[in-house]
Chains A and B, each alone.
Chain A
């Protein structure tokens, strides 16, 4: 019969666990088409036949009307021979073949589920684990692919008849929703007191009562346990800080809704869109003048990290409490977040008065993601829950599969194959044994989920990074060493889908340089394959190495010694405050004793922060620079001038900026103006160097990367001035500018070198 056709369709991307098969089913049946649809390890396959116009419409609608959580990467269509037409069916999953299907990130509770949650007539009324194909847990509960209930942590919950009926009904929103459940068959919420007893009553209401009593409540979330207190209760927040051994690092705050968010922070359209985004990240926003939160939520900070409820449990809890709560990772100090029940009970027993918990296991520890608006877009600062494992698309394919091991702190790893780079969730500081285990196990998990057997292993050049050592132990793969700041710039290039060459400005805390010294204030002429160091900050000693990082006043001592040719003015307060150790620190710096040289921009910010009396010692990474940024008066336009010298690489004198700051301070200029003039001076000298590089190389694009560019004031000033100077400026959006983005940069470099045929094993 003419006009009757059959096509075999393959859909790749995030198409499992997002309601894709039911969508295909209803689309096909509505058009009166026959055939079948199923999941396999590569994604979704569809065989469909019927009159040609309807089949054409089917193919058009397939991408156009796809479900909200779906992320279609590729649709391939092959004509087939029409068979005996019957109905349309959904077939069981097929686990054979290559593993290509993408596991989707966890998704915030959808509006349909929220409506049911609040509907007394619904059988899931107030059920804290309600979900459907459009929302709910995914990455955090998946043990293996294909994404099917037996391979998730929901395997232990047998569906009741009512749930099973929905699950098998192609017209239902829960058709093949793997984590679907109800009060009769699914996970159960409990409230356990720290002593182990379980008081009778509604666990959510009891949990809310614990919070209202000013106590700490541990809450089991999607990727791990959180610790919660009322955000307005100073006594409770400071008690939480003491028990967690977390002195100053800001806490995130969860608010019931956008209305409440607007009371705490300045909210515009972009901010609202980020807060309500599917990944429900923590969004850093300017704090409202009279924000009703306790001082110790974010001490001395002009911004607050806000998030909205993202699980039904959070919705119920926030509704019961009725006000903002601090929701911070369930751990002590810098430990990884607790995610296994028994471990959480042990580790958090001394912190939390009670645990709001349940019996759905978490398979993989995943922290909350952190973003902020920049230039009207989302800029990711920590990429984790709700974002991972969605791949970053590589503009140019990797010829051979790659593992990139990342850096040491804020570690992420990345597995890349063809045009996809799977950047892992935030792993953390590898020196911690639990974290190193998460790193090693995470690599295995990702390799299995995405069917990637790395043939190349990219790593940092720092010989002591545990990620470097891990790479060196992988004898089966060819090692590709990537310099830290080259990886930063490559990460920015990959984030923007650009190949370079670019003038890369990599400003960060530190990274191992090719000359064995510590770099961190670098100008690189770079593409994805290689780089040349064309400029840097003048090296200064870090008196006492790591101790100089924890104690910014030591950098002030080193910089002032340099700036004033060993005779800094005696009236400086920073020297007086630290007089007991000042001379010793100056001496070891001069003698080079335990004092490696560094060109780090982060250390320059530290020095100025200490000179101004903002921060002599830090309790979390980047604190001195963060507080210096907060101090700066954004209205001030003055800028200090740094000398640029040298012909090979240009050398920028950071000491000039420190001296200018010290002179102004001695002259009685307000620290807020000094901090601003310093920021402006750094931006100014970046532009000055970039002009020189443009003149000598003809390159007109500048990429800004490294943790220092998480400083919004510096970033804005640098971007504005560069654009005004006619440069095209690349900044980070999808991956962090800090070391969380290093693994993507390493993978991009390894792929580019492989394409260029410069690796040993290249064909």
Chain B
């Protein structure tokens, strides 16, 4: 069960099995997508319970997720494929809702779904509906984004309040009606990234990551490790909606580890932080953007959180499902 929850256990599986078999220079960085000859290429599978949740469904996720993976490579997404695995007896009406959402999401992102596939498996062999999407996009010359490019002095920006999606899905999964105004923030980020790259060109944007599985904490740990730098976050600067904070408090989870869809983390040259923030805030999806921390030299490979009392807590990668450590 730990494998797949995000964080270290997943990475070990990826590193031990997949990288071992497929090793090549494009795969090696284990980024959201690969870029070669100005073309970005990515794929992702979508498995979510429940399939429908406040603010979206598996269809939006499957389009937005792949669009965002391309956007995080600095690409302009162009074409998508979509493959479905359906459990026998899956209601056609539900499928229509899903494909309708996909068409709508594609339209919003400005991408075309140009090819696909469908398989039906026996009842009980799948959990309703799984979707795999792949996508290609074009990368402008001069755009080179990499987690290992982060440097001391860089600013860390999140594009808006974190945790909405993960908390919404968790509450929907428990069948709990706790906060009516909680919805997933799933959205395509290519418009936002285009704005950001336009405002600060020429290597000032070091890296972009969508904070999906494992949340902002996991993404930043990857940056810290890839660039051998420290990530120092300021607890009070991290935007979290009150409803999300309340739900996290109820569930005893840390918003930093909650999955987001439609939120990204940008690492930009510290001198361009102001320009980057202005560019993001000028877009509806970046209205709540905030600088949440800095890259520092020491201690390399660690993410630290400065707390309200002036303490410094370690924000480590989770090995498995979060279990309490305190007594």
- Residues of A bordering B, CB below 8 Å: 245, 332-335, 347, 408-410, 430-434, 436, 462-466, 469, 508-510, 512, 518, 542-549, 581, 584-585, 587-588, 591, 593-594, 596, 602, 621-622, 707, 738-739
Q: Measured between alpha carbons, how far is A510 from B251 in the docked complex, in Å?
A: 18
Does B284 lie at the interface of the complex (its beta carbon under 8 Å from any beta carbon of A)? no
* A545/B327 contact (C-beta < 8 A), A464-B316, A593-B176, A594-B170 known: no
Q: 7 tightest CB-CB pairs across the interface, nearest first?
A: A509-B327, A547-B252, A544-B252, A594-B251, A593-B174, A545-B252, A591-B174
* A335/B327 contact (C-beta < 8 A), A545-B253, A588-B251, A593-B173 known: no
- Tell me the smallest distance from the CB of A589 to a CB of chain B, in Å: 10
Contact B322 A433 (CB under 8 A): no
- Tell me the smallest distance from the CB of B180 to a CB of chain A, in Å: 13
* A707/B178 contact (C-beta < 8 A), A436-B314, A545-B252, A594-B251 known: no
- Tell me the smallest distance from the CB of B281 to a CB of chain A, in Å: 32
Does B309 lie at the interface of the complex (its beta carbon under 8 Å from any beta carbon of A)? yes
Q: In the complex, what residues of A have CB within 8 A of residue B253's CB? A: 545, 594
Contact A587 B176 (CB under 8 A): yes
Contact A584 B326 (CB under 8 A): no
- Tell me the smallest distance from the CB of B133 to a CB of chain A, in Å: 29
Contact B323 A434 (CB under 8 A): no
Contact B312 A433 (CB under 8 A): yes
* Residue of B309, B312, B323 touching A596 (CB-CB under 8 A): B323
Q: In the complex, what residues of A have CB within 8 A of residue B173's CB? A: 593
Does B175 lie at the interface of the complex (its beta carbon under 8 Å from any beta carbon of A)? yes
Q: Measured between alpha carbons, how far is A347 from B311 in the docked complex, in Å?
A: 10
B291-327 Cβ-contact flags toward A at 8 Å (1 or 0): 0000000010010100001111110101110111111
Given contacts A335-B311, A512-B323, A545-B323, 9 further A-B contacts (CB under 8 A): A409-B327, A431-B313, A464-B318, A464-B320, A546-B326, A547-B249, A549-B326, A593-B251, A622-B327
Does B93 lie at the interface of the complex (its beta carbon under 8 Å from any beta carbon of A)? no
Q: In the complex, what residues of A have CB within 8 A of residue B314's CB? A: 430-433, 436, 466
* Residue of A542, A596, A707 touching B327 (CB-CB under 8 A): A707
Contact A547 B319 (CB under 8 A): no
Q: Which B residues, 153 to 195, have Cβ-Cβ distances below 8 Å to chain A?
A: 170-171, 173-176, 178
- Residues of B bordering A, CB below 8 Å: 2, 170-171, 173-176, 178, 249-253, 299, 302, 304, 309-314, 316, 318-320, 322-327
Give A600's nearest chain B residue, CB to CB: B327
Q: Measured between alpha carbons, how far is A596 from B323 in the docked complex, in Å?
A: 7
Q: In the complex, what residues of B have CB within 8 A of residue A593's CB? A: 170-171, 173-174, 176, 251
Q: Measured between alpha carbons, how far is A333 from B314 in the docked complex, in Å?
A: 16
- Tell me the smallest distance from the CB of B3 to a CB of chain A, in Å: 12
* Residue of B309, B320, B324 touching A518 (CB-CB under 8 A): B324
Q: Measured between alpha carbons, how far is A284 from B287 in the docked complex, in Å?
A: 56
Contact B252 A602 (CB under 8 A): no
Q: Report which residue of B176, B304, B324 has the largest number of chain A beta carbons within 10 angstroms of its beta carbon.
A: B324
Contact A546 B304 (CB under 8 A): no
Q: In the complex, what residues of B have CB within 8 A of residue A738's CB? A: 327
* Residue of B171, B316, B322, B327 touching A549 (CB-CB under 8 A): B327
Q: Report which residue of A431, A436, A462, A548 has the largest number of chain B beta carbons within 10 angstroms of its beta carbon.
A: A431
* Residue of B175, B299, B310, B324 touching A347 (CB-CB under 8 A): B310
Contact A547 B250 (CB under 8 A): yes
Q: Measured between alpha carbons, how far is A464 from B323 in the docked complex, in Å?
A: 8
